[in-house]
């Protein structure tokens, strides 16, 4: 059971970020009608006094050592010695600190006859992620690892889904625009990371802080990196409304349709002709056909801590749809 805590205090956080955007002008001398833009953002975020809920096992361990916190309760069956009930509340404890960099590059060139080509890149690198569940416990480096190691438990969500803190993640996209046609292809990269499958001695070998003193007894598995390719083709339907002229000045016998401007010049009266019904219906529409995961790449294999992954792949990062086709129609009014 988890109880509220009226003494719960706000978390404390510290954030530092610095960025730079560079758009060189010299690119015009090398390639006319081209633009180049680059950016980089550094960030460092730290949280202390993080709101957490102690795990049931942690509360039981505190009970055994006589260190129950206010609001915590453990009921033990006097006959069997088993734990019947555990009560805990929200507390301010723990610390998290993440550090990384976001960076990107965009290059565009406009041609006279074959349209515009654009190449964009957006990437993130997680350099470090320090995690401490409780002030009394050890601080762990979790960058490049799953987010449900034994020392994390369910702090970051459901432990059976599978998720992780990747060092690298990014997308690169190449787009071609010509008249009313848009064609793009993208590559999405997901870095690999490590997970702990089991130990030689089994789960009982873990001390309260979730780490073994003998690191060689830990059985780890490397979840492989993946690259997915997506493609999309769009066509914009735009119909210009025709204009009728009637009649030609100087040649018409019907002088009523010839008007004079303020300067005394004769002008031809013009009226907008209506579009056919089917053009009116489809005007300003966008047809799109696309495919995600063109190569039909499967997600990487994942077992989970002590083989507890219910999906057999990192379900928090990937899906099992495989190659997915879609068609889209957007009408603007």
Q: What tens digit of pLDDT does each residue of 243-299 get? A: 655 555 555 545 445 555 555 555 545 554 577 787 777 888 999 999 999 999 999
> What span, in angstroms and rounded, lies between the C-alpha atoms of 300 and 193?
11
pLDDT-wise least confident of 8-12, 142-146, 230-234, 245-249: 245-249
Q: Residue 172: which of 151, 189, 192, 147 has the closest Cα?
A: 189
Q: Which two tokens stand for residue 62?
A: 């505190």
Please say whether the beta carbons of 210 and 203 come within 8 A: no
Please say whether the beta carbons of 124 and 132 come within 8 A: no
Q: What is the pLDDT of residues 173-188, one digit of tens each?
A: 999 999 999 999 999 9
- The pLDDT, as a whole number, for residue 283 is 85
CA distances (Å), origin 274, targets 176, 190, 244: 33, 52, 10
Give the mean model confidence (pLDDT) for residues 135-161: 81
- Cα 171 from chain centre: 10
The residues, ordered by sequence, that sit 6+ positions from 225 with a Cβ below 8 Å of its Cβ are: 189, 190, 191, 192, 300
> What span, in angstroms and rounded, lies between the C-alpha atoms of 104 and 173?
11
Please say whether the beta carbons of 90 and 69 come within 8 A: no
**E-only strand ranges, 133-265:** 140-141, 145-146, 164-165, 168-178, 181-190, 193-199, 218-223, 226-237, 243-246, 258-260
Please say whether the beta carbons of 261 and 267 come within 8 A: yes
Q: Tell me which of 82 and 208 has the higher pLDDT.
A: 82
312 CB neighbour count, 10 Å cutoff:
15
The residues, ordered by sequence, that sit 6+ positions from 23 with a Cβ below 8 Å of its Cβ are: 35, 36, 37, 38
pTM: 0.77
CA distances (Å), origin 78, targets 26, 75, 84: 81, 9, 10
| 136: pLDDT strictly greater than 70 | yes
- The pLDDT, as a whole number, for residue 70 is 78
> Which pLDDT band, with edges at 50, 70 and 90, does 212 fall under?
very low
Residue 312, helix vs strand vs coil: coil
Residue carrying structure tokens 């290059």: 107
Give the mean model confidence (pLDDT) for residues 37-47: 97
> What span, in angstroms and rounded, lies between the C-alpha atoms of 170 and 28?
28
Q: Residue 45: which of 130, 122, 125, 103 has the closest Cα?
A: 130
- The pLDDT, as a whole number, for residue 211 is 46
- The pLDDT, as a whole number, for residue 208 is 45
Give the mean model confidence (pLDDT) for residues 115-129: 97
The residues, ordered by sequence, that sit 6+ positions from 20 with a Cβ below 8 Å of its Cβ are: 39, 40
295 CB neighbour count, 10 Å cutoff:
11
The residues, ordered by sequence, that sit 6+ positions from 281 with a Cβ below 8 Å of its Cβ are: none
């Amino acid at each position: 059971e988890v109880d509220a805590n009226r003494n719960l205090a706000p978390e404390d956080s510290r954030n530092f970020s610095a960025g730079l955007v560079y758009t060189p002008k010299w690119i015009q001398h090398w390639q006319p009608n081209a633009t180049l833009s680059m950016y980089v953002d550094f960030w460092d975020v730290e949280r202390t006094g993080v709101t957490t809920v102690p795990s049931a096992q942690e509360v039981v361990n505190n009970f055994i050592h006589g260190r129950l916190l206010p609001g915590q309760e453990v009921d033990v069956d006097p006959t069997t010695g088993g734990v019947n009930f555990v009560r805990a509340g929200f507390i301010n404890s723990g610390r998290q600190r993440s550090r990384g960099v976001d960076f990107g590059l965009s290059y565009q060139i406009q041609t006279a006859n074959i349209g515009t080509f654009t190449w964009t890149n957006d990437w993130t690198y997680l350099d470090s992620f320090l995690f401490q569940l409780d002030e009394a416990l050890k601080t762990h480096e979790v960058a490049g690892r799953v987010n449900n190691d034994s020392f994390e438990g369910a702090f970051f969500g459901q432990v059976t889904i599978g998720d992780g803190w990747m060092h690298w993640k990014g997308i690169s996209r190449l787009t071609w625009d010509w008249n009313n046609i848009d064609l793009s292809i993208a590559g999405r990269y997901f870095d690999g990371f490590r997970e702990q499958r089991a130990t030689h001695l089994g789960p009982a070998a873990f001390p309260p802080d979730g780490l073994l003193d003998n690191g060689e007894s830990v059985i780890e598995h490397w979840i492989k990196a993946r690259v997915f390719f997506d493609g999309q083709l769009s066509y914009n339907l735009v119909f210009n409304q025709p204009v009728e002229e009637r009649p030609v000045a100087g040649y018409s016998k019907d002088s009523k349709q010839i008007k004079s401007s303020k300067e005394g010049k004769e002008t031809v009266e013009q009226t907008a002709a209506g579009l056919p019904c089917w053009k009116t219906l489809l005007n300003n529409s966008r047809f799109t056909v696309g495919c995600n995961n063109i190569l039909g790449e499967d997600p990487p294999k994942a077992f989970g801590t002590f083989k507890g992954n219910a999906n057999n792949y990192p379900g928090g990062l990937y899906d099992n749809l495989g190659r997915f086709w879609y068609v889209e129609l957007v009408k603007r009014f």
